Structure formats: C-alpha cells, structure tokens
C-alpha cells in the first residue's frame, strides 16, 4: 500500500500486518502443533496396544514420565490424552484452521486490501504464539502438564493432590488458554468487522462465497462463546489459587478435609460446555465452507442450493448454542432438562442432512476434476455422513446412558469433528497453496497422501465404535484390569497399527508442503479455473492484494459451466450479459 516504509525481514515475516503472512504464521504454528498432538496420540496408542511395555517412541517424552521397567506412567498417559485433546481442539482445529483460512480468505474473497485492523490481526497471532509457548512449556514442568482431560473438570483439575498434572501444569494450561482466548477474540472480531464493512463494490452478502459465510458464522460463535470459557477458567483460577468455592464442595482428599462448601462442579460443566459445544462447530463450519468451495470448483458446477447451504450453516450455528447439555446427560440433571437437550440436539440432524444432500446434488452430473484438494473435500463429506449418523445415538439421552464416555464417543467425534475438520484443512492447504506460495504442490504425492490417510483414518476410528459398544470407557490407561475387555486386544492392535501408519504417512504431506514452497513449479494466476476473487490477484502476493483498483463484483461465486459461456467458469468480476440473471 504505502510505498514510504521499506519492509524489513522483521516487518515482513515476523511482525507482519499483512493478512496473508499472518495466515501463514497461523498455518505453520498449527501444523507444528498438529505434529506434536499426533505424536502424542501415537505414543498413547502404543501404550494401549502394548500396555506396560517399553517403546522406542517413549524417548520423545521427559524421562520422569517413564517408570523403572520403561513403561509409561498411568498419570502421564492421562497427561498425553489431555494435551492431545487440548492441542487438537484449540491449537490445530480452532487457531490452525480458522486462523489460517479466515485470515487468508476473507480479504481475498470479499475484495478487501487487508483486515479491518492489521494491527489487531497481528496481535491475535502473537497472543496465540505466546499461548503456544506457555502450553509447550507446561509439558516440561516437573509435575507434568494438565492431566484431567481436555475438559478440565474440577475438582480433579482444581486439586493438585488428586493428580500431579493439576499443579503447575494446570496453572500454565489456564494461562495458555487465557492467552489463546484473547487471541481468538481479537481475530474473531476482526473477521466479523471485515466481512461486514470491507466487501468490495458489488459483493453483497448474497454473493459471498460459502467459505466466507462459514468463517463469518464461526467468528460469531467464537466471539459469543469464548468469553464464557474465559470466565469459567477465571473462576477455576480463583478456586485453585485464592481459596474460593465456585466449583468445590464437601471434599476430602488424601485424608485432608477441605474447607470448601457450597460450590458445584456441575456449574463448571455448564459453563465449559456452553463454549464447548459451539466450539465443535467453530471447528467444523470452516471445514464445511472450504469443502463447499472446493467441491463446486472441482465439480465445475455451482454449489447446489446456495441459500439452503447458508441457511443450514445459520441453523447449525444457532442450534449449537442450545445443545450443550447433551454432554451432561449423566450428571444427574433433571430428566426433563435432559429431554429438552435431546430434542434440540437431534434437531441439528436436519440442517446437517440438508448439507449432505446438497453436496451429493452438487456432485450429480458434475465433471469432476480430482485435484488432491477435491479428494479431501469428498472425504470430508464421507466423514461428515459417517460421524454425523452416530450422533443420533449419542444425542439421544436414553441411548447415551450406555455409550456416554465410552470409545463410541471417541470414534464419533474423531470422525465427525476431527477427521472432517482435518480433511477440510488439508483440502484448503492443497487448494490455496498456489495462492499462498505462488507454487504448486506435487499432485502425485497429494494422491498418495490422500489415499493412505483416508484408509488409515477410518482404520483408526471406525473400530472404536465397537470398543464403545463393548462398554470400554475412554481415558483408560489399559483395559487389562477388567476380564470383560479381554477380547478387545485385537481391536486395539488394529487401531494402533493404523494410527502409527497414519501418522507416518503425514511425512509425505510435510515433504510435499515444504519442498513445494521452495522448489515447486511456479503457478499461474488461476490454476484451478476458479470464479472467486482471490484468483484475480497477481501470483506475486503483494501487500494490499490488488495492484490497482479493487475488483468489482458482478455476479455470485458459483457460475461454473453456465450455459451461454464458452469457458466452464465465469469469474465474479465478469459483467452479466444482457438479460442474464444472477442466481
């Protein structure tokens, strides 16, 4: 923009105000955290397949996590599970996904030169970065990181006497999440303001690409729900450090009678899940938006039922605020309240079904081009179907009685939320890589990466449903203490085999990603023949996005294979012909 100041290395790559650079910072930090989280899962999967045995993978862990015979300590198993959940839910699939694509795509797709406030945007990343440093640091404190599950239910998370991780590790977890929330709120407000105020001429809300709609709803969800988690965490900090009793009552631990009276851990659960459930959709909606965009582009067809797609996003976003109680059916809540939450929860199946049918209708009579991004987008639809359906069981309070907190839940949410979102994220990376780095990723490596990941991921998470239906609780260090689970060791071995293989094949992606940044073939301006505005910017990725005037939008985002045009795509900047109707 302004030619006065010269960009130094520091202002360009580190304290950058450019949304594209900030997006890449989020992406790289998110990818790093994804690797850490995945390594943790590989380690605890090894423990589950070979309980009490030593493994070469344990060399990655601080030495005091391992006992004399070389096995993982049970409380450190819980530390790994807790950190895996925290990292994947918040660091990878919230900041890594939204942070990357909201930053990258919102200005580019609405025709803005940058975010509403570049400075706040930069702060958002650096708060996130600080949160990352604190969280990683917490892994190395002597008593270990937070170990009470990523949902940090008190009293377990409040009392260091109950588990070592609830000491310094938990304090650092709370500091990290507070920094994280500040960063995420700064980002979210910026996204909302940018979408509302900085759309270029002609870019009415009705013409927004679905990615932007999804990121818009995601930001609103975040801004409304994260403050609740912040207050929830603050009260926990008070209970832990200043002797208050918000969440504690009637407790005797290690023979010590605590003074706390009158608090309730259930209060914590309500506050936590008031964020926690919208959080699921903060993770999922961007992936669905990205998927819509990529499926339309590569089907060479308009997304089917644009309005219904926006409407169902809105319905899902709204409902996500009134379903949190389905995480708490077994807390002893009034059965009538349980009924209400069952009702609202199962309603989510309706907009979700609409989305699936619309995806299928988009593929119908398409002319599909299988880029690696398209493969991942189709896989997102597959996991959204598979995982969404089991939600009908978990959301039904009567059925939840016997599958609550079992591996059935683990299978369900890893497929519907974890895989869908990760696939969406990977699809997004493959699709927008040329725009991010001006180069192409290798197609064949992309294909191999996709199919191996697809096979391994279902190999890991589908069998978990059976463990759950056999009654196996989650977060068990081993299932060998109960004779009733003796038959399950084969399933555990299969899962671990796929988990390790699935982790290893990500090397293909990493290689492709970093290799292509430096050595990939140069791209052209619009390699996917896409209609949206980001592909009208120059390959060089300049600050301010467009060299001259901002582009003007003349039509909606999905004019693919429109009759009357020779090309099978009509960019949003192309004037409507006389008598031609915009959809």
Torsion of CA 170, 175, 176, 180, to 10 degrees: 140
Check: CB of residue 74 under 8 Å from CB of residue 538: no
Interacting residue with other proteins among 65, 91, 454, 535 (CB under 8 A)? 454
Nearest Cα neighbor of 415 from 388, 435, 452 is 388
If the CB atoms of residues 16 and 390 are measured against other proteins, the closer one turns out to be: 390
If the CB atoms of residues 387 and 551 are measured against other proteins, the closer one turns out to be: 387
Longest dimension (CA), the chain: 84
Which residues within the stretch 208-247 sit at the binding site for other proteins (CB under 8 A)?
none
Smallest distance from other proteins to CB 571, Å:
16
Which residues within the stretch 545-574 sit at the binding site for other proteins (CB under 8 A)?
558, 560-563, 568
Nearest Cα neighbor of 128 from 82, 87, 182, 173 is 182
514 contributes a contact to other proteins by CB under 8 A: no
Q: Output the DSSP codes for 313-353.
A: HHHHHHHGGG-GGGG-GGGT--HHHHHHHHHHHHHTHHHHH
Smallest distance from other proteins to CB 101, Å:
22
2 contributes a contact to other proteins by CB under 8 A: no
Q: Output the DSSP codes for 205-250.
A: GGG--HHHHHHHHHHHHHHHHHHHHHHHHHHHHHHHHS---SS--S
Rounded to an integer, what distance in angstroms lies between the CA atom of residue 299 and that of residue 560?
9
Region of 254 (left: φ > 0; alpha: ψ -120 to 50; beta: rest) is: left
Q: Which residues pair with 439 in a beta bridge?
A: 522
Smallest distance from other proteins to CB 561, Å:
4
Which residues within the stretch 82-141 sit at the binding site for other proteins (CB under 8 A)?
none
Interacting residue with other proteins among 73, 117, 244, 573 (CB under 8 A)? 73
43 contributes a contact to other proteins by CB under 8 A: no
Rounded to an integer, what distance in angstroms lies between the CA atom of residue 105 and that of residue 109?
6
445 contributes a contact to other proteins by CB under 8 A: yes
Check: CB of residue 92 under 8 Å from CB of residue 128: no
Which residues within the stretch 305-334 sit at the binding site for other proteins (CB under 8 A)?
305-308, 330-332
Which residues within the stretch 161-190 sit at the binding site for other proteins (CB under 8 A)?
162-163
Interacting residue with other proteins among 105, 491, 495, 553 (CB under 8 A)? 491
Nearest Cα neighbor of 530 from 198, 301, 377 is 301
Burial 447-483 (b: 16+ CB within 10 A, else e): ebbbebbbebbbbbbbbbbebbebbbbbebbbbeeee
Q: Which residues pair with 569 in a beta bridge?
A: 560
Number of residues that bind other proteins (CB under 8 A): 139
149 contributes a contact to other proteins by CB under 8 A: yes
Check: CB of residue 322 under 8 Å from CB of residue 262: no
Which residues make Cβ contacts (< 8 Å) with residue 459, sequence separation at least 6? Answer: 494, 495, 497, 498, 501, 502
> Is 66 in a helix, a strand, or coil?
strand
Smallest distance from other proteins to CB 509, Å:
11
Nearest Cα neighbor of 237 from 181, 175, 182 is 175
Interacting residue with other proteins among 477, 531, 545, 553 (CB under 8 A)? 477
276 contributes a contact to other proteins by CB under 8 A: no
Which residues within the stretch 339-398 sit at the binding site for other proteins (CB under 8 A)?
339, 342-343, 346-347, 349-350, 353-354, 356-361, 363-371, 375, 378, 381-382, 385-386, 389-390, 392-393, 396-398
For residue 307, how many other CB atoms are within 10 A of its CB?
A: 9
Smallest distance from other proteins to CB 32, Å:
20
Interacting residue with other proteins among 130, 237, 440, 542 (CB under 8 A)? 440
Smallest distance from other proteins to CB 106, Å:
24
Q: How many CA atoms lie within 13 A of 315 on its CB side?
A: 18
Smallest distance from other proteins to CB 83, Å:
14
Smallest distance from other proteins to CB 562, Å:
5
Judged by CB under 8 A, which stretch of 12-20, 69-77, 174-182, 227-235 contacts other proteins?
69-77
46 contributes a contact to other proteins by CB under 8 A: yes
Interacting residue with other proteins among 478, 526, 532, 572 (CB under 8 A)? 478
Smallest distance from other proteins to CB 456, Å:
10
If the CB atoms of residues 322 and 356 are measured against other proteins, the closer one turns out to be: 356
Smallest distance from other proteins to CB 476, Å:
4
28 contributes a contact to other proteins by CB under 8 A: no
> Is 569 in a helix, a strand, or coil?
strand
Smallest distance from other proteins to CB 383, Å:
10
Rounded to an integer, what distance in angstroms lies between the CA atom of residue 164 and that of residue 148?
10
Residues in the chain: 583
Rounded to an integer, what distance in angstroms lies between the CA atom of residue 441 and that of residue 344?
43
Interacting residue with other proteins among 338, 418, 424, 428 (CB under 8 A)? 338
575 contributes a contact to other proteins by CB under 8 A: no
Smallest distance from other proteins to CB 423, Å:
13
75 contributes a contact to other proteins by CB under 8 A: yes
487 contributes a contact to other proteins by CB under 8 A: yes
If the CB atoms of residues 8 and 339 are measured against other proteins, the closer one turns out to be: 339
Smallest distance from other proteins to CB 409, Å:
11
Judged by CB under 8 A, which stretch of 8-16, 112-120, 135-143, 477-485 contacts other proteins?
477-485
- Tell me which DSSP letter residue 560 carries: B
If the CB atoms of residues 142 and 227 are measured against other proteins, the closer one turns out to be: 142
Interacting residue with other proteins among 3, 63, 335, 540 (CB under 8 A)? 335
Which residues within the stretch 251-270 sit at the binding site for other proteins (CB under 8 A)?
251-253, 255, 257, 261-266
Smallest distance from other proteins to CB 486, Å:
9
Interacting residue with other proteins among 15, 238, 447, 546 (CB under 8 A)? 447
For residue 41, how many other CB atoms are within 10 A of its CB?
A: 21
């Amino acid at each position: 923009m302004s030619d006065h100041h010269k960009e130094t290395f520091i202002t360009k790559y580190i304290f950058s105000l450019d949304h594209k650079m900030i997006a890449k910072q989020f992406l790289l930090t998110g990818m790093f955290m994804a690797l850490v989280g995945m390594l943790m899962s590989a380690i605890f999967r090894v423990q589950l397949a070979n309980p009490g045995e030593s493994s070469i993978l344990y060399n990655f862990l601080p030495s005091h996590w391992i006992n004399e015979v070389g096995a993982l300590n049970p409380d450190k198993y819980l530390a790994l599970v807790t950190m895996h959940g925290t990292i994947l839910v918040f660091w990878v699939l919230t900041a890594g996904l939204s942070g990357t694509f909201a930053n990258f795509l919102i200005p580019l797709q609405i025709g803005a030169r940058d975010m509403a406030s570049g400075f706040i945007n930069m702060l958002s990343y650096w708060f996130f970065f600080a949160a990352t440093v604190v969280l990683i640091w917490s892994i190395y404190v002597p008593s270990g990181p937070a170990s009470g599950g990523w949902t940090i239910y008190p009293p377990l998370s409040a009392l260091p006497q109950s588990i070592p991780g609830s000491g310094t590790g938990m304090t650092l977890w709370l500091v990290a999440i507070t920094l994280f929330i500040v960063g995420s709120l700064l980002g979210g407000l910026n996204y909302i303001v940018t979408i509302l105020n900085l759309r270029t001429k002609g870019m009415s809300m009705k013409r927004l690409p679905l990615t932007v709609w999804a990121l818009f709803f995601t930001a609103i969800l975040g801004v409304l729900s994260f403050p609740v988690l912040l207050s929830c965490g603050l009260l926990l900090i008070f209970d832990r450090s200043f002797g208050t009793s918000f969440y504690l009552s009637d407790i005797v631990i290690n023979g010590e009678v605590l003074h706390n009276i009158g608090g309730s851990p259930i209060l914590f659960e309500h506050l936590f899940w008031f964020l926690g459930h919208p959080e699921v959709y903060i993770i999922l909606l961007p992936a669905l938006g990205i998927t819509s965009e990529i499926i339309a582009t590569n089907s060479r067809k308009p997304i089917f039922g644009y309005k219904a797609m926006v409407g169902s996003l809105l319905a899902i976003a709204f409902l996500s605020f009134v379903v949190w109680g389905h995480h708490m059916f077994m807390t002893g809540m009034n059965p009538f309240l349980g009924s209400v939450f069952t009702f609202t929860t199962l309603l989510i199946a309706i907009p979700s079904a609409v989305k699936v049918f619309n995806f299928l209708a988009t593929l119908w009579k398409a002319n599909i081009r299988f880029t690696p991004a398209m493969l991942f987008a189709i896989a997102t639809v597959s996991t959204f179907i598979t995982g969404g359906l089991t939600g009908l069981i978990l959301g039904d309070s009567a059925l939840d009685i016997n599958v609550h907190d079992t591996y059935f839940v683990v299978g369900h949410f890893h497929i519907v939320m974890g895989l869908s979102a990760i696939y969406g994220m990977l699809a997004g990376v493959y699709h927008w890589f040329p725009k991010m780095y001006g180069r192409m990723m290798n197609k064949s490596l992309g294909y191999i990466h996709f199919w191996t990941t697809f096979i391994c991921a279902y190999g890991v998470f589908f069998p978990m449903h059976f463990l759950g239906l056999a009654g196996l609780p989650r977060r068990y260090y081993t299932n060998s203490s109960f004779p009733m689970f003796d038959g399950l060791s084969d399933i555990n071995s299969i899962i671990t085999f796929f988990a390790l293989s699935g982790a290893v094949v990500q090397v293909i992606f990493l290689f492709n990603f970093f290799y292509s940044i430096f050595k990939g073939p140069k791209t052209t301006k619009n390699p996917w023949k896409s209609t949206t505005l980001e592909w009208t910017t120059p390959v060089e990725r300049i600050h301010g996005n467009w060299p001259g005037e901002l582009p003007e939008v003349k039509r909606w985002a999905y004019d693919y294979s429109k009759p009357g045009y020779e090309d099978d795509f009509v960019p949003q900047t192309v004037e409507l012909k006389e008598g031609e109707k915009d959809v």
